[in-house]
Amino acid sequence: MDIDLPESLPGVDMASALKRLNGNRKLYWQLLLDFAKRYASVTEEIRTLINNGDLNGAERMAHTVKGAGGNLSADGIYNAARRLEYQITRKGGNYDPLLSELNQMVTPLLAELETILEQEQSRDGQRESLIDPAQLAPAMVELAGFLQANDANALTSMESLKELMVNSLFREAIVELENHIENFDFISAYSALQKIADDLKISL
């Protein structure tokens, strides 16, 4: 599946990064997500380590964010983290300007990634709401019949229903239903199916 990457990101040379990754857009998107999760408050974390006298820990974190910036082809982040790491290594003091520089490089990228993720979640929610009960009803009625008859064809019928509900809000309920069917617990499966049907106002 191709990943719908944004056309650009602040401070990032996406073309260079993708070239280095042999065009692996999925891997690059994962690197971006990992960066957003791990370094959301990196400047304050480094500042806290410095204030607590843990210069080794601060140096390691600066080194790590430098590597992450390099992997993303985010040269501003890479260079700011490199300068901060060097200053910490030589115990040069006066870290505030370098911390501020790193923060200025990191913040726009984190903000943009957060916006993209919020938009993705919004679109996912819209997709999840587009369930057509009229389309699901025949598949659910068929499955209900197999379950009531203790018919192993319920396994095949379940696969068909899953395909229709793959992006639905009922993912957890579908997993529960499928587990019952795979264990040939058709009574519990019918009960789980009935709950889904009731929510969708489908008569079995």
At the top level of CATH, which class does the domain 14-127 belong to? mainly alpha
Spell out the per-residue pLDDT of the chain, length 204, in tens.
445 788 889 999 999 999 999 988 888 988 998 899 899 999 999 999 999 999 999 999 999 999 999 999 999 999 999 999 999 999 988 899 999 999 999 999 999 988 887 776 655 554 444 567 788 889 999 999 999 999 999 999 999 888 887 656 777 888 899 999 999 999 999 999 999 898 888 888
Is the torsion defined by CA of 19, 82, 8, 13 positive or negative?
A: negative
Q: What is the separation of C-alpha 133 from the centre of its chain, rounded to a whole number of angstroms?
A: 29
pLDDT of residue 121: 61
State how far the alpha carbon of 153 is from the alpha carbons of 63, 82, 138, 182, in Å. 57, 62, 15, 11
User: Which residues are within 8 A (CB) of 34 and not within 5 positions of it... i.e. 6 or more apart?
Assistant: 68
Taking the domains of the chain in order of start, what are their residue ranges?
14-127, 133-199
Q: Decide: residue 119, CB within 10 A, 0-12 exposed, 13-18 middle, 19+ buried.
A: exposed
